[in-house]
Structure 1
Amino acid sequence: MNQNNNDTLNKEGELYVKLGNLMRKKRTEDGRKTVETILNLNIPTAEKVQKITDFDATSHIGSNLYLLRKKSFSGEAAAENDKTALSDIDENTSIDNEKIINDTLASKGIFTPVIVKENRKKIQKFPKRRSYLFFLVSEFFRIIKFTCNSSVLRYKYFLPDIKLSRNIERFFSENIKKTADELAQVMHYISETGWMTLEKFEYNLLMEFRALCEKISAITGEPSRGGESGMLIRIRRVEKYFLVCHYRENYPEKILSLVEKTLKGNSRYSLKIKEIKDMIAFLLYTQPDNLSLQAIIVAFNIIESRTYLVLDDLINRNRGEIISNFEFNAHTDVAENIKEAIHKNIDNLNCKLDEKRRILKIKFFMKLNESGGYDFSILNSAAAGIITEDLIPVMPNVALFGYAMIKCYLVLFEELLLKPVTFSDHEPALLFDGDFFQAEHVELQNIFNRMEKLSKQNNCLQITSERLDQHLKNKLTIVNRTKLEIETIQDIDRFSSLMYNVGHRLSVIYMNKNIAPDTNNDAVVTADHANKPGNELPFIVNKIVSQHIFSGKSVAEAIYLLISISYMAAYYFRNQKICLLLDNIVKIKKEIDDIMAQLKRLADPLHYEKIEQIKSNSEKEN
C-alpha cells in the first residue's frame, strides 16, 4: 500500500512539474488568458496538462498560418493582418515550417496564397518585339486580315503601320467601364454571401473576376493621359487580372456558372441572372464584331510586338495553380463572418459528439443480436431463480411483463446494491454505502406495491409495446384510455425512468473506476467519491455466490450485468430519454458528417486537420 502511495505521489509530482513548465511558456495575451481559464477549471491536473498541450499545438498551427497569410497580403490588407501578428513567432523557424507546410499541402493538391502568388508572377507572356523588316515581311498581312475582321486596329500601306482605332477609348469608357461598374456591385454581393455555399477555389475564382471589374472601374475613373499611350497604361493595369480569368480555358465558363449558382434563389438578382451572365460574357469573351476587352488587350500586344497574336500567346499556362483552394480570399469583415461560422460549427460539433458519446456509453451495455438489433432475452434470463415461469410468452403484453420485471429487478437491486454481497472467497460485504441507492429503493418499492395492487384488479389487461409508446408520446386522447390502463402505464413509465437513472448512475461509477483485474479494494462506494475517476470498485475480482443471475460473476461483471438489465428494460418499456438517444444515433452520425463537411469547406486544411484529429480522439475515448 505504501509503494502504491509513493508511485501515486511521484506521478502527481511529475504532472505538477509539466504544468509548471507549461505555465512559464511564452504566449500571446489571448494565449495567456486561455491557459489561465484552463488552470481555473475544476478538473484533474493530468487533464489540465493535456488541454494546455492541445491548445499550444493549435497555436503553433496558427503561427504558421499567420506567416502564410502575411506573405500573401500587401498594402491595406497587410496592415489589417499585422494588427493580429503573433509577437512570439521565431521568424527563422517559422519560415522553415512555412516552406514545409507549403510543399506538403501542394503535394496533396492544396495551394496556399504564398504558392499561388509565386506562380502568378510569371503567367503573362511578353512577346518579343520584332524588327520592322520582320514585321513587313512576315506579320503585316496577317495583321491586316485581323484588322479587316475587327474594329480594334487600323493600318496604312504607305509607310506600313498599325494603330489603335480612334473609337476604342470611347468604347472602353462607355461600354466596358459601364459593364464593369454594374458587375462590381453584383460581385460585391457575391463576396459577402458566396462563402456560404461555394468551395474555396470557386469563391476565390469569382473574387479574381471581381478584382478585374473593380480594376476597370478604378482605372477609367482616374485622370490619365489621353491617346494611345494613355490607353496603353490603362490596359496594362487591367491586363494581368484579365489573363488570370483566362489562365485555364474553362475559367470563363466556370465564372458564369458559379455566378448563376450563387445568385439563384436571391430575390434581388434571380430575375436578372441572364442579363448578368451576358455582361460577364461581354467582358470575358470576344464579340461578333471583335470589339471587346479581349480584342483590345490582344491588339495592344500586337502593336507592341509587331507580331500577329491571339490570346493564348499572352498566357503561360504551365505555371501551376494560381487560384488558392487553401482559404477564402475575403475582406476582413467577411473573413470574420467565416471565422464566426467555423466557431458555431465547432460548437455544434461538440454538442453532437457529446450526444454521440452519451449514446455509445449506453450502447456499450446493450446486448445485440446477430442482425444488429437489441436482444431482450437478457430480461428473461434476469428472472432465473426469481420467477419460475418463462417470461418470453408474456413479453408482448407490457402490463404483465412490467409487473414480472419489477419483481425481478427489485430482488436483483437489493441483492447487489443494498445488502451485503456473499463471496466465494471473502466474507459478505457491502459494495455501496447504505444511503447510496436508498431513494431509488424506496421509489422502486412504492412502484412495485402499486403494480401488484393493479395486477390483482385485472390480470387480463392487454397493453402492447406500440400502444405504450403512443401513450407516452401523448398520441391517444383520454377517451381512448381506461383508468386502469392509464395508472398501469404511469407506473411502467416511472419504473422505466427509475431503471434508466439507476443504469446511468451505475455506468458513471463503472466507467470512472479502475477495474484492472490485478487490483482490489474493500472500501464501499460513497456519494463523496462515486464520480471521481480512478477510485476502484470494491471487491472487483471477487466471485459472487448467488441463486440468481449474478452467480459466479465478479463484482465488475455483476455491475455491468445490472446496468445492462437496467438499460435494456428501460428501452423495452419505451423510456423516452433512452429511446430518443438510441433511436437518434443514425441521425446524429449524419449531422456530425454534415458539420464536418461544412468545416472542411469553411476552414483551411491545417485547422480542419486539427478539428478532425480532435474529433477522432473524442471518438476513441468511447
Structure 2
Amino acid sequence: MNEFAFKEGPLKERSFNETTYEERSDHSPQQGTEQKKADSLGRVWKNRRSIKPFHTQASYFRYLFLEYRKIRYFGNVTHIFLPRIVPSGIQLSRDVGTTFTTYLQPWSVELFEILSSVLSTGWRYLDKKEFNLLVVLKKLCEKIVKTDFSLPDLKNRNLLEKYRSLEMLFLVLHYRQDYPEILISALKRALKKVPDIKDSQSVVLLVRRIINRDDELPSLYNFLLGLNMLKYRRYFEINDLIHANSGEVVSEEVFECEGETYHEINQCIAESRKELLSLQKKLLEIQHLKQYLPLDEKGEIDYKIIEYFYESNEQRKKCSFTEDLEDVVDLSARLFGLFVNSFENILNGKIHIPGVGNVELFARSFFQVDLTKLKYIIEKLGKITYYLESHFTFEQYLALLQPRKVVHRYEAEAKQLIDEGLVLLHDMGNKLERILRLRTPGEIGTEEYEPLEPALLNGRYFHLPFEGRIIRYRNKLGGKTVLEALSFIVRVCYLICMFFHKPDVYGLLAEEEAVKENIESKLLLLGRIAKPEILRELRLLIG
C-alpha cells in the first residue's frame, strides 16, 4: 500500500457484492423483493466472471512473424513495454508502477470519495443502468487503491493473474461501446445535484484518465492490454478481451447498492406509491367535480344554471341574481331556501312517479340532518341582516376569503354561516355524486324496493330505484327522470360552491394541472427505482 491509499474506515464498508450474495444464498435465503434483488445481481456477477473469452498462447513462430511487430509498436507508443532488440525479451516498463503510484492511485482516491457522495442519493435521479455503471467505477477505484503496482519481475508472463479482479471491473465498463459515455453523461447530471462540487469538468477528466486509453502516460487501459500481450504473446485490442455475449453485466432491473441505500429506495417506493394513490384520488375528485360543471364558449364555468335556479322560483316577488349580489346575505339565504324548497321532497320525503304512486327514494337518515342544519342557517342569516350597518356585498364576502386583520363582527358571522351552508351543500352533492357513480345501472322493479340507506356508500351493491322514470312534480324537477333530477341537484350543489369560492372545491379545480404533473413525476421516479411489476401494478390501480 502506498501513501495515497485509503484509511481503513471507508474500505471496511460492507457492500452488497458477490461475497455477500453467496453468504445470503448459503446461510440466509431472502424472501420477497430482497431475494429477487439478490438473485438478479447474482446472475449479473456470474456473467461478469465470464466476461473474458478464453485465449491460448500463440506459438513462438506466430508471435515472432505476426504479433511481435504490432506488440513492439504498441509498447513504444504507450510506454508499457521497454523497447528491446531481441524479440523474446519483451518486458514491462518499470515506469508503469511509478506512474500508477504517483498518478493513478491518487486520482482513484479522489474519484472514490466523489462517487460515494454521488451514489448516496444518485438513485433518485439516475436510472438503474446509469447508477450501476457508477457503482462499478467506484469499485474499480477502490480496487486500484488497494492494488500493489510494484513490478519486481517485469518479464513474468503470469503477472496478469495478480490483476484479474481489477481487469474484470475495467472490462465491465467497456462491455458495450456506449458504456463509457453513458457513465460520463450520468455523472455530469449527478454532479449537478452535489452542491459541494463546483468543477464537474475536472471530475469528468479524472474518469477519462482512469478508464480511457491515454498514450502520453502509461494508462490502466494500455496496462491491461499489455499484460494480456505479455501472457498470450498476441496483440490485443480491448474488444478482443470481451466476450460480447456474456449476458447482462450491468443490471437494468435492480440497484447494486449498499444495504442502507437499498432500504432508502424501498422506503421511497412505499412513500411514492402512497403519494401516487393519494394524488390519483384527488385527480378523480377533480374529474368527478368537472363532470357536473358546465362550461361556456370560452371554456370557463357557466353559472347560468344558478341564475335560472335563483330567478325562476315560485314566489310572487321575482328576484334578480345580478342585483342581489349587492347583498350576499339575502342572496345566500334565498339560494339555500330555494334548495330546500325544491329538493327536500326527493331527498327527504316522497315524489310522485306516474303509474307507481308516491315513492320514497332515500331513508330519512340520509339527508335529514343536513337539511335541518341548512334550515337553521337560513333562519340565522335572516336575523343577522338586521345587525349589518350596510349591505354586505358579494365582493366584500370574497375579500374576506383573504387574510385580514380587521373584520366587522356581523360580517364575520355572516361569512361563517354562509360557509357552513356551503359545507352542507358540498356534502350532499358528494353523497349524491357517489350514489350516481357507484350504483349498478338498471331499472328496479316497481313493487319491492326499499329506500336507500347511507350504508350503501361503503361499497354495497345497489340499484337506484326508478332511475329512468319521470317525476311528476310542480317544481324544477318536474319532467325529469329520477336520474336526471339527482344529477341536476349535484350540479346545483357544486356550482353554488364554486360560485362562492368554497376553498376546498374552488381550490381543488385550480390544482388539476399540478396534480397531473405530480402524478407524472411520481411515475417517472418509480419507473427508475421500482421493479417493472410494481409499476405495472400501480398503472392498473390508477387507470
User: Higher RCO, 1 or 2 (CA under 8 Å, sep at least 6)?
Assistant: 2
- 206, 210, 214: which one pairs with 2:142? 214
For residue 470 of structure 2, what is the aligned residue in structure 1? 543
Aligned to 1:428, what secondary structure does the other structure show? strand
- 2:337/2:375 contact within 8 Å kept: no
TM-score, structure 1 as length reference:
0.72
For residue 75 of structure 1, what is the aligned residue in structure 2? 19
Aligned to 1:422, what secondary structure does the other structure show? strand
Q: For the residues of structure 2 that align with 1:541 and 1:158, how far apart are their CA atoms?
A: 103
- 1:513/1:536 contact within 8 Å kept: yes
Root mean square deviation of aligned Cα: 3.7
For residue 533 of structure 1, what is the aligned residue in structure 2? 460
- 2:439/2:461 contact within 8 Å kept: yes
Asked if 1:152 is matched to 2:80, the reply is: yes
- 465, 484, 489: which one pairs with 2:415? 489
For residue 246 of structure 1, what is the aligned residue in structure 2? 174
Deviates more, 1:509-518 or 1:491-500: 509-518
Asked if 1:298 is matched to 2:228, the reply is: no
Q: CA deviation at 1:135?
A: 3.0
- 1:496/1:574 contact within 8 Å kept: no
Asked if 1:205 is matched to 2:133, the reply is: yes
Q: CA deviation at 1:477?
A: 4.0
Aligned to 1:601, what secondary structure does the other structure show? helix
Q: For the residues of structure 2 that align with 1:435 and 1:118, how far apart are their CA atoms?
A: 67
Q: CA deviation at 1:599?
A: 0.8
- 2:118/2:194 contact within 8 Å kept: no
Q: For the residues of structure 1 that align with 2:152 and 2:347, how far apart are their CA atoms?
A: 95
Q: For the residues of structure 2 that align with 1:613 and 1:442, how far apart are their CA atoms?
A: 42
Q: CA deviation at 1:341?
A: 0.9
For residue 109 of structure 1, what is the aligned residue in structure 2? none
Q: For the residues of structure 1 that align with 2:205 and 2:459, how far apart are their CA atoms?
A: 68
Aligned to 1:164, what secondary structure does the other structure show? coil
- 551, 568, 588: which one pairs with 2:515? 588
Asked if 1:498 is matched to 2:424, the reply is: yes
- 304, 324, 342: which one pairs with 1:412? 342
Structure 1 gap segments, 5+ residues each: 1-71, 88-97, 99-111, 617-622
Paired letter, 1:374: I
Q: CA deviation at 1:210?
A: 1.9
**CA spacing shift, 1:289–1:562, aligned 2, 3 Å:** closer
Deviates more, 1:596-605 or 1:537-546: 537-546
Q: CA deviation at 1:611?
A: 2.0
Paired letter, 1:576: P
Asked if 1:366 is matched to 2:293, the reply is: yes
Deviates more, 1:409-418 or 1:138-147: 138-147
Q: For the residues of structure 1 that align with 2:51 and 2:533, how far apart are their CA atoms?
A: 28
Q: For the residues of structure 2 that align with 1:81 and 1:568, how far apart are their CA atoms?
A: 62
- 357, 360, 364: which one pairs with 1:427? 357
Q: CA deviation at 1:159?
A: 6.1
TM-score, structure 2 as length reference:
0.82
Q: Deviations over 1:366-402 (max 9, x none)?
A: 3344554333222234343525747454475572543
Q: For the residues of structure 2 that align with 1:537 and 1:311, how far apart are their CA atoms?
A: 74
Deviates more, 1:592-601 or 1:162-171: 162-171
**CA spacing shift, 1:585–1:291, aligned 2, 3 Å:** same
- 304, 314, 319: which one pairs with 1:386? 314
Q: For the residues of structure 2 that align with 1:436 and 1:309, how far apart are their CA atoms?
A: 83
Q: For the residues of structure 1 that align with 2:365 and 2:166, how far apart are their CA atoms?
A: 82
Q: For the residues of structure 1 that align with 2:169 and 2:362, how far apart are their CA atoms?
A: 76
Q: For the residues of structure 2 that align with 1:158 and 1:522, how far apart are their CA atoms?
A: 107
Q: CA deviation at 1:426?
A: 2.8
For residue 448 of structure 1, what is the aligned residue in structure 2? 378
Paired letter, 1:615: I
- 1:545/1:551 contact within 8 Å kept: yes
Asked if 1:314 is matched to 2:241, the reply is: yes
**CA spacing shift, 1:193–1:531, aligned 2, 3 Å:** closer
Q: CA deviation at 1:346?
A: 0.7
For residue 283 of structure 1, what is the aligned residue in structure 2? 210
Q: Deviations over 1:319-343 (max 9, x none)?
A: 6764322221223332222111101
- 1:522/1:539 contact within 8 Å kept: no
Structure 2 gap segments, 5+ residues each: 1-15
For residue 468 of structure 1, what is the aligned residue in structure 2? 397
Q: Deviations over 1:287-306 (max 9, x none)?
A: 34331111211212222333
- 96, 104, 117: which one pairs with 1:189? 117
Q: Deviations over 1:185-236 (max 9, x none)?
A: 3333333322122111110111121222233344439x99865436322233
- 2:76/2:83 contact within 8 Å kept: no
Aligned to 1:220, what secondary structure does the other structure show? coil
Q: CA deviation at 1:455?
A: 5.9
**CA spacing shift, 1:386–1:253, aligned 2, 3 Å:** same
- 1:219/1:234 contact within 8 Å kept: no
For residue 272 of structure 2, what is the aligned residue in structure 1? 345
Q: For the residues of structure 1 that align with 2:276 and 2:208, how far apart are their CA atoms?
A: 42
**CA spacing shift, 1:503–1:321, aligned 2, 3 Å:** same
**CA spacing shift, 1:607–1:527, aligned 2, 3 Å:** closer
Q: CA deviation at 1:589?
A: 1.8
